[in-house]
Structure 1
C-alpha cells in the first residue's frame, strides 16, 4: 500500500492521482454507508410525501455550508453536491415507499 502524501508532498501528476484515487475510494465507501441509512429511512417512512422535508433539507444545507467554510472548502460547491445527493435520495425513498404501499 502506498503511503499517504500531503498535497505539498506530491511531486508528480501521478502522485496527485494516487491520492485522489485513494480519497475517491473512501468517499465511495462513505456514500455506500450513507445509502444504507437512506434505505433504512425509506423502510421506516410510511408515506412518499415524508421523503421531502423542506425544513430538514435546509437545516442540512446550512450545516454543510458552515462546515465547508470551517474546512476552507467552497460552500457553494458543497451545497450543490449535497442538494444533488438529497434530491436523488428523495426520489429513491419515494420509490421504495410507493412500491411497498402498492404491494400492501
Structure 2
C-alpha cells in the first residue's frame, strides 16, 4: 500500500533525533496503525524485543517459547510480577474510592452477591485461559477479603474522624 499523506508518529525521542526511526520501522519495532479510517496513520511504539540503541537496554518481552535460558525466563517472570503489582495498585485505588462512595449511602464493605460475582468471573477467566480455577478462586477470595477489610478500616476511620 502506498500512502501519500504525511505519516504522524510517536516514538522515543532518541530515535527521532538520530534518524534511527526508519531502522526501527524496518526491523519491526514500530508499525502503522489506522486510527481514523481516512488513511491517517500513526506509528505505534512497540517495546518488544528491543535492544540497546544509544542508551541502556530497553524492556524485553519474549514469549516463553522464545526464552533460551533460565536468566531470560526469570527476567520475564520478574517483568510480569512488576506489571501485576502495578495492576493491583491500580485496583487498590478503586477499593479506596469504593469505601468513599459506600459510606455516605450506607452500603456495607462486604456485599456478598458482589463477592460471589467476582469469584465466578475469576473462575470463568481461569477456565478460558487454561488455568486451574480453584487456585485462582482461592487467590482472588484472599484478595477480596483483604480489600473488604481495608474498606472496613477506611469506613471506620472516617466515622471516628467525625
TM alignment of 1:38-53, pairs within 5 A: 38-46=95-103, 50-53=108-111
Distance of 1:38 and 1:96 partners within structure 2: 10
Q: Which has the larger radius of gyration?
A: 2
Question: Structure 1, residues 40-91: CA drift from partner, whole Å, max 9, x if none?
Answer: 1111112787111111100110011001100111111111111011000010
Alignment-derived partner of residue 102 in structure 1: 160
Output the TM-score relative to the length of structure 1: 0.93
Alignment-derived partner of residue 76 in structure 2: 19
Range with bigger deviation, 44-53 or 83-92: 44-53
1:60 aligns with 2:118: yes
The SS at the match of 2:103 is: coil
Alignment-derived partner of residue 151 in structure 2: 93
Output the TM-score relative to the length of structure 2: 0.61
Question: Structure 1, residues 6-49: CA drift from partner, whole Å, max 9, x if none?
Answer: 11111211110000011011101100100001001111112787
| Greater RCO, CA 8 A, separation 6+ | 1
Question: Which 5+ residue runs of structure 2 have no aligned equivalent?
Answer: 1-57
1:6 to 46, 57, 63: 63
Question: Which 5+ residue runs of structure 1 have no aligned equivalent?
Answer: none
Contact 1:49 1:94 in 2 (8 A): no
Q: Give the structure with the larger helix fraction.
A: 1
Shift of 1:2: 4.1
Moved beyond 6 Å, runs of 4+: none
| Structural RMSD (CA) | 1.5
